[in-house]
Structures are given as C-alpha cells and as structure tokens.
Amino acid sequence: MRQQRKSVKVMKKKVLKGVAVLALVLAAAPVGYLVYGAVTYTEEPLHRLEQFAETEHYDQLVERIRERMPEDSDSFTFVAVGDTQSNYAVASRVLNRAAAEDPVFMLHAGDIVRRGRVEEFRAYHMRLVEEVAPIPVVPAPGNHERGPNYDYAAFRTIYGDERFSFDVGNSRFVGVNNTDHFRMSGSDVRFLEEELSKPGAEHKFVVFHIPPRFVEKAVEADDTRGFVWNARRFHDVMVEQEVEHVFMGHVHGFATTTIDGVRYTISGGGGGTLTTVLGPLGNVHNYVVAHVSPDGVEYEVMRILDDEWHRNPIK
C-alpha cells in the first residue's frame, strides 16, 4: 500500500512537470516564431525593388494621377479592388478588365502578394502594375504584405510608407495600414481624422484592408475576420467627417452596406481564393467602379458570374 501511494505521488509529480513544460513551450512559441522569422530572412535583397519606387512611390503615384486628371477635374472615374494575392491568372483578368474602364487610377485594398517577399513583388505584383500602365495602382498594405520579418519592408521599399493621403479634383483619398498587431490603432484613427478634417474636399474616400466587425458579412463563421479594437471610434470619425465610401478587402468576395450614411464595401475579389460565406452574388471575383461628377458619385460592381462579366449599380 505504501509503495502504491509512493507510485501515485511520483506519477502526479511527472504529470505536473509535464504540464509545466507544456505551458512554458506554449508561452514561448510566439516569441520563438518571431525570432525564427528574424533570423531566417531568405528572400531576395530589398534593393532589387528600388527601381520600382521611381514610378510607384506614393509621391510619384500622386503626380501620375494628377497628370491623368481630365480638364474638368471634378468629373473622373476610379476603380477599387483588393486581394490579388499573387494569383496572376485571375488577377490579370480582373485588373485588365478594370483598366478597360479607363479609370484615372485604381485603389487596392491590400494583399497584393502572398507572403510579402521581394521575389513575389517582382514576379507578380509589379508585373500586374506594368500590364495596366499607365493607370496608377495605389495600394494600402494588407496582412500578406508584412513579409518574413513582419515589417512590411518590401512594400515600404516600393511605396515609401504604409499610409497615404492625397486630393484629386474635389475628392480626397486616405489609406492606412490596419493589419499590424493593433489592427485599427489609435494612431491610425488620429491620422484619418486629421487628414479627413482638412478643408477642400467635397468627397472623401478611405481604404484599408481588414474590415470592422460591425460591417455586414465582414466576419466569417469563426468570427475572426473583422477588427473590434477602436471600431466604434473609427466609425464615429467616418460619420463626423462625412466620408463618402470606405473600401476594404480581406474577405475574398463582395459585400456592401451603408451605416449612418457611410457606405462600407468589401471588394476582396481581385484574385485570391473566394470565400463561401457571402452568397452567390458575393462569392465572386470583382471590382468596383466609381464615377465622380459635380452631381455626386455613382458606383457599379463588376462581377464574374458563370465565367462572364456582369455590371450592376450599387445603390
């Protein structure tokens, strides 16, 4: 009996020790993963992307956009799309069809590549950008642009920053990176508020990657696809600044809704594998066309249905 009790005590100690070791491993895993990423930087050198900054840096993109603006600068067309994700065959079809709209420029809601590596930007994204040239493509970064070291290094080498704000005609366009640890950070919200509150814009547009969870269809079944932190504060800024339209991606399809006068549209159908949660008209490759005029802004969605393009107004 005494020997049996001793065996039980030994067994308990082993179990507790095993639990403690497992807890330590689980706690250290995220740190270890980050360290692993930092010391296994195996992509091509960043300087191989520097040539593209000559035309694709945000400052250069804005100059190119203004050069393309029509004489009546209050009437123009732009396109919004997202999530091309290095899926060249589909993304090429989508972007080239979007280029046929003859937009002044294209907004991209992020995930322009798959893993954020230099070779992907060169082989896929810049190839697409060159195909639709001279139409500028202005992207906000997505979570797939983080890269091996989670620092958006390749993206920043080309575009110079992770945020932008510019005016064309009577319209203002503001983009932020909401795919870092805090998603929509307090700094992001302040940047949006500061830029949107500047005078001189009749129409205001915002673009970023991950939609807020309050947007209809933004969240898939596992309830992890939308951001919550600062969501209410962010929406209040959109309402107060009378933002016309917020463009997002991350969910690979199409969904749109208007909340308190602000239209939120997910256009994440630029090439990535499609979601299955948005219904037959949402689980589609797509892009959005915006026609700005002195009378207001009209929107259309272009969808691939049964392997053919279909155009529908967004109301």
Q: Is the dihedral of CA 128, 129, 133, 139 positive or negative?
A: positive
Give the pLDDT confidence score for residue 224 in this predicted structure: 65
Instruction: List CB contacts of 290: < 8 A, sequence separation 6 or more.
Output: 77, 78, 79, 80, 205, 245, 297, 298, 299
Give the pLDDT confidence score for residue 74 in this predicted structure: 87
φ and ψ of 266, to 5 deg = -95, 115
Task: Please check the confidence at residue 251 and state whether its pLDDT lies above 60.
Answer: yes
Q: What is the pLDDT of residues 10-26, one digit of tens each?
A: 555 554 555 454 454 45
**Please, what is the average pLDDT of the chain?**
88
Cα distances from 36 to residues 23, 32, 113, 143, in angstroms, run: 20, 6, 22, 19
Q: What is the pLDDT of residues 217-235, one digit of tens each?
A: 666 655 667 888 999 999 9
Per-residue pLDDT band for 180 (boundaries 50, 70, 90) equals: confident
Give the pLDDT confidence score for residue 72 in this predicted structure: 76
Give the pLDDT confidence score for residue 270 in this predicted structure: 97
Using a pLDDT cut of 90, give the percent of the chain over it: 78
Task: Please check the confidence at residue 31 and state whether its pLDDT lies above 60.
Answer: no
φ and ψ of 262, to 5 deg = -105, 125
Cis? peptide before 139, omega within 30° of 0: no
Kindly list the strands in the beta sheet with 245-248, ordered across the sheet, starting from the edge strand earlier in the chain: 164-168, 171-175, 203-207, 245-248, 262-267, 254-259
Higher pLDDT, 143 or 31: 143
Per-residue pLDDT band for 182 (boundaries 50, 70, 90) equals: confident
Per-residue pLDDT band for 8 (boundaries 50, 70, 90) equals: very low
Give the pLDDT confidence score for residue 47 in this predicted structure: 95
Rounded mean pLDDT, 278-294 = 96
Q: What is the pLDDT of residues 97-156, one digit of tens each?
A: 999 999 999 999 999 999 999 999 999 999 999 999 999 999 999 999 999 999 999 999
Q: Which CATH class is domain 47-314?
A: alpha beta
Strand intervals (E) in 55-97: 76-81
Task: Please check the confidence at residue 188 and state whether its pLDDT lies above 50.
Answer: yes
Give the pLDDT confidence score for residue 71 in this predicted structure: 83
Instruction: List CB contacts of 230: < 8 A, sequence separation 6 or more.
Output: 182, 183, 184, 185, 186, 188, 189
Parallel/antiparallel/unpaired status of strands 286-293 and 245-248? unpaired
Give the pLDDT confidence score for residue 38 in this predicted structure: 42
* Amino acid letter for position 176: V
Give the pLDDT confidence score for residue 32 in this predicted structure: 42
Task: Please check the confidence at residue 262 and state whether its pLDDT lies above 80.
Answer: yes
* Amino acid letter for position 251: V
Give the pLDDT confidence score for residue 23 in this predicted structure: 52
Task: Give the lowest-confidence range in 68-72, 244-248, 269-273.
Answer: 68-72
